[in-house]
Structure 1
Amino acid sequence: MATTPAQPLPDPPKLIATDLDGTLFRSDGTLSERTRGALAAVERAGIRVVLVTGRPSRCIPALLEGIGPYFVIAANGAAVHAPDGTVAHMSPIRPLAAARLVARVRRVVPGVSFAVEYDRDFGHEPAYPTWSFGGETVPLVGAAEGLLARAPGRPVLKILAHHPTLPLDDFFEQTRCAAGPNAETTHSTGLSLAEFSAPRVTKATTLIEWSGRLGIGSHEIAAFGDMPNDLPMLTAVANSYAMANAHPDVLAAARHRAPSHDEDGVAQVLEGIVDTVLCRAGRDEAR
């Protein structure tokens, strides 16, 4: 059962990994000054911060202009961005595998429409609804098969599928079964929208690989999230926090619970971690 942030961790983590929407950002999409200050305080205390999001790579440079210079794991693990917004690493879906995936899902789920997220831009079918993340480029519009035919030299980081009438649970199960082991399938919006990454590419796999290169193990990471696309990350680290507003599956899986994103829940936990670090430093100086 999830615990409350009032129970301090026995040892401060070496790395904070946090989702954005529904976790770090409030319901209106803003980052509070309290949360901004807590992130900065964590880094001053010597703890690294990485932002881990399902948002596409194309919006990361604009995102960092507003939030500050942090490493970002984007597109559910398919890309890693340096603090200046440039792409440091990608794990794209192979074009042929992407085309076959679209064909399978279209065959199994009539009425589905698709979007394709490349490294710097995106395309979508006419029936696919689009949402703005800021820093948008003009999308390519056309059938997914034609969009994927343009993929050489344009890495495909994520494919999205939407259905206008099927309930999310039914749609997700159908798309997950259609994709099988040929893709990682998840969802994160509460809409009938499924997200596909390359096989074995999740927030968790990229986070653990990236942190491992820094000499930080999964037992030294604290992670925050709210939706099913966060589950691999939350179950891969020693200290996982579900936001109070999280999906039921996330609340059930996380080891700890943080207050909601509209209560600056991440900031509340981070402030406790920083207090622990400063208290220990004070005791060490007193010896």
Structure 2
Amino acid sequence: MRDNDRVTSATAQPETPGSPQFSTSLERGGSPVTPPRLIATDLDGTLLRDDKSVSPRTVAALAAAEEAGIEVFFVTGRPARWMDVVSDHVHGHGLAICGNGAAVVDLHGGAGSHRFVKVRELARQNALDAVRLLREAAPGTVYAVEQTYGFNQEPAYPKLHMEIPDVLAQAEELLAPGGPADGEPVLKILAHHPELDPDAFLTLARLAIGTRANVTRSSPSALLEISGPDVSKASTLALCCAERGISHEEVVAFGDMPNDIEMLTWAGRSYAMGNAHPDVLTAASGRTVANNEDGVAVVIEQLLSRRP
């Protein structure tokens, strides 16, 4: 698996390493660029290689950034329980933004001991409205419900995730007051369609659901992620930065899929991976190489090489 104080930065034509346009310099167009204080990076398809590993080069680059006084935030659509892949690589504050902004999690406890610092839940009525409206607009849609600790799904929901659901029931039952998922915040709804094109499904869902929820996607399949109406990677990252006195100009962000677009346009500088979705390439102010070529590390190394 892989919205909103949104500040749109001026976008350049996509750049590739080795071309005359590619640059991670602290100067762009002859104008000074604010030195970074925080790096915000997506995980799947961005920081992680396709085998879900963190390369030694990337581990070294993250450590060097923290040593230079630059905070590193992992900003992902993953739930907290899937963060073990990077728990060994946290430094400093050890916080991550999970569930596309629905939660801020302290990873210091290690595997199975993650602590929720902030939760931005999807209201039950909004979730029920979203389920109903999308069922009407796209018959055949099936759902799963992601909570702080639990994961529940409809019987027809495919085995997209390597885990066993806590409860099998229709989404309306799962989300009902007093239902099997009551008493625990809902972070997001997952909606899957077996036949629709992923981008077409996203457009249809946004039109159907409107302002009741924020809809995005990070999977190559027709799998949508539905969060609270003001919840996204960008809005939660903005809250975390405000708490630290960090402006959007001081943030460098990395991503590859539509759920990264708001974050990439909010950050002062942003990089689309070489393997990124076409809309992400348009939204980011720069481009780096693909995740399997350590694109995040490439940029961090160049940023650090130009620091005083």
Please indicate, yes or no, whether the TM-score normalized by the shorter chain is above 0.5: yes
Tell me the equivalent position of 1:283: none
Distance in 2 of aligned mates of 1:265 and 1:170? 29
Q: Residue in 1 aligned with 2:174?
A: 147
* Contact preservation (8 Å) 1:95, 1:156: yes
* Distance in 2 of aligned mates of 1:248 and 1:160: 23
Matches within 5 A, 1:128-277: 128-132=157-161, 136=163, 138-149=165-176, 150=179, 151-277=181-307
2:89 and 2:195 map into 1 onto residues whose CA distance is 36
In the alignment, the residues of structure 1 paired with residue 170 and residue 259 of structure 2 have an alpha-carbon distance, to the nearest angstrom, of 26
Does residue 89 in structure 1 map to residue 93 in structure 2?
Answer: no
In 2, are the aligned partners of 1:115 and 1:128 still within 8 Å (CA)? yes
Report the CA distance between 1:58 and its aligned residue: 3.0
2:80 aligned with 1:57, yes or no? yes
Q: Which moved more, 1:78-87 or 1:109-118?
A: 78-87
Q: Which amino acid is the alignment partner of residue 72 of structure 1?
A: A
Residue number in structure 2 paired with 1:99? 128
Aligned to 1:123: 152
| Separation in structure 1 between the aligned mates of residue 86 and residue 42 of structure 2, nearest angstrom | 14
User: TM-score, structure 2 length as denominator?
Assistant: 0.85
Counterpart residue number, 2:15: 3
Residues 16-27 of structure 1 correspond to what in structure 2 (within 5 A)? 16-27=39-50
What SS class does the counterpart of residue 44 from structure 2 fall into? coil
**Partner Cα separation in structure 2 for residue 217 and residue 203 of structure 1:** 16
Q: Which residue of 2 aligns with 1:71?
A: 95
SS in 2 for 1:22: helix
Distance 1:186 1:159, change over 3 A: same
Unaligned runs of 5+ residues in structure 1 are: 281-287
Residue number in structure 2 paired with 1:284: none
Q: Deviations over 1:239-287 (max 9, x none)?
A: 010001100011111111111101001001111122222xx1xxxxxxx
Kindly provide the amino acid, as one letter, of the partner of residue 104 in structure 2.
Answer: V
> SS of the residue aligned with 2:159?
coil
| Alignment gaps of 5+ in structure 2 | 1-12, 17-21, 28-33, 109-113
Correspondence for 2:59 = 36
CA contact (8 A) 1:71 1:80 kept: yes
In structure 1, what residue type is equivalent to 2:217?
H
Distance in 2 between residues matched to 1:172 and 1:148, nearest whole Å: 22
Assess if the C-alpha contact under 8 Å between 1:185 and 1:195 holds in 2: yes
Q: Aligned to 1:241, what secondary structure does the other structure show?
A: strand
- AA aligned to 2:60 is G
> TM-score of the superposition, structure 1-length normalised?
0.91
Tell me, what secondary structure is at the counterpart of 1:55? coil
* Code of the aligned partner of 2:25: P
The question of whether the paired residues in 2 share the 8 Å contact of 1:244 and 1:260 is answered with: yes
Call closer, same or farther: CA 1:240–1:220 in 2, change over 3 Å: same
Query: d(CA) in 1 for partners of 2:87 and 2:36?
Result: 26
Q: Which residue of 1 aligns with 2:4?
A: none
Contact 2:62 2:72 in 1 (8 A): yes
What secondary structure is seen at the aligned counterpart in 2 of 1:63?
Answer: helix
Identity %: 45
SS at match of 2:131: helix
Question: How many residues in Structure 1 have an aligned counterpart in Structure 2?
Answer: 275
Give 2:173's aligned amino acid: G
In the TM superposition, residue 140 of structure 1 has moved relative to its aligned partner by 1.7
3-state SS, counterpart of residue 202 of structure 2: helix
Cα distance in 1 for partners of 2:161, 2:200 equals 26
Measured on the aligned residues, the alpha-carbon RMSD in Å equals: 1.6
Q: Is contact 2:272–2:286 with CA below 8 Å preserved after alignment? A: yes
Instruction: State the secondary structure of the residue aligned to 1:132.
Output: coil
Hey, what's the Cα distance between the residues in 2 that align with 1:176 and 1:138? 27
Q: Secondary structure at the match of 1:21?
A: helix
Q: C-alpha distance in 1, partners of 2:166/2:125? A: 22
Cα distance in 1 for partners of 2:237, 2:136 equals: 34
